[in-house]
Amino acid sequence: MSEGTSVNQELSTIFNELWSLDVNRMTPVIDYTISIQVRNLFYQGIHTVQDQASQPLFSNVNESKLRNITTFSSFMTLLDNYERSTGVTEQVTTEELTEMDLFLDAVLETKVMKVCVTTSSVDCGMSLWPQRSPRRGSLLDSSGFEHVFVGETKSGTEIIGFHNWVQFYLQEKNQHLDYKGYKAREHDLPDQDDHVLNLQFSWHGVVKPVGSAFIGTSPEFEMAVFLMNTERSTTVVVNIDQCQMELVVIRHGRSLGTAYPKLLSSNSRHVRQHAH
């Protein structure tokens, strides 16, 4: 953590409450296994990277469990409703509107999102999709939801967004995505039970030199964390479980522009460093 940057204890307390309520979170090694492999320091442009990871990031995911949890299954249904390239207008069907409503209904029923709604002034559904649909706020083209959870390519040369582990897993399984290795400081290396990773990957041949994502967390947890801050643009340091991270949230009016976690320290190393 850089000098002069302090932990936001108020948000840390709220986020740890959400963490404890996240009963749909997947358990490392039991529900999924990641292979973090080698730290990747190399990047010299869009098409010049060294692949330090010969194996996929996800070596195993209990997909049947994912599909039996309503928020995960309805989230996965949404992922194929978006065009990869920015500026391409999606053709939205009545079925897709129904799928969005089913996802929001499922998310809003969780304890995690109920705490988000009661604690925050944000309408957690409408701030993701602020344009009106027949039933609820829905922004179905270049939305904050698409940017953060699905990912987009810009001019065919840049990946923007793409901060969700389920999308990462599915794209990797379908051989659209190639994990290149993790990004970390030498004295603070991650392991397979970390719930936040900084990483490098390519998607449809385009490189994301430094990406980041929660790992194993439920869609409702990520939505709640990203939507708790109502200010236009914030970068806040928080402690969640054993991780210290920087949460970056940028808003455009009431809607979400981008949001992602950046891992600063894992395995409670920040606690031990503070104690010294």
pLDDT top residue among 68 and 241: 68
pLDDT top residue among 209 and 166: 166
Q: What whole-number distance in Å separates Cα of residue 178 and Cα of residue 58?
A: 11
Region 81-96 average pLDDT: 71
pLDDT over threshold 70, residue 258: yes
Q: Which of 61-70, 129-138, 254-263 has the lowest mean pLDDT?
A: 129-138
Report the pLDDT value the prediction gives residue 48, as an integer from 0 to 100: 54
The active-site residue, picked from 180, 183, 195, 208, is 208
pLDDT top residue among 88 and 204: 204
Report the pLDDT value the prediction gives residue 124, as an integer from 0 to 100: 57
pLDDT over threshold 80, residue 135: no
pLDDT top residue among 141 and 71: 71
Annotation marks residue 173 as catalytic: no
Q: Which of 30-44, 70-84, 148-162, 173-187 has the lowest mean pLDDT?
A: 30-44
The active-site residue, picked from 163, 183, 195, 270, is 163
The active-site residue, picked from 65, 147, 183, 276, is 147
Q: How confident is the model at residue 52 (pLDDT cuts 50, 70, 90)?
A: low
Q: Which percentage of the chain shows pLDDT scores above 90?
A: 34
Annotation marks residue 270 as catalytic: no
Report the pLDDT value the prediction gives residue 252, as an integer from 0 to 100: 75
pLDDT over threshold 90, residue 182: no
pLDDT over threshold 70, residue 41: no
pLDDT over threshold 70, residue 169: yes
Report the pLDDT value the prediction gives residue 165, as an integer from 0 to 100: 96
Region 144-162 average pLDDT: 86
pTM of the full predicted structure?
0.85
Annotation marks residue 276 as catalytic: no
pLDDT over threshold 80, residue 276: no
Strand partners, 211: 199
Region 131-142 average pLDDT: 40
pLDDT top residue among 269 and 148: 148
Domain ranges in the chain are 9-37+55-273
Q: Which of 20-24, 181-185, 257-261 has the lowest mean pLDDT?
A: 181-185
pLDDT top residue among 114 and 144: 114
Report the pLDDT value the prediction gives residue 94, as an integer from 0 to 100: 86
Report the pLDDT value the prediction gives residue 134, as an integer from 0 to 100: 43
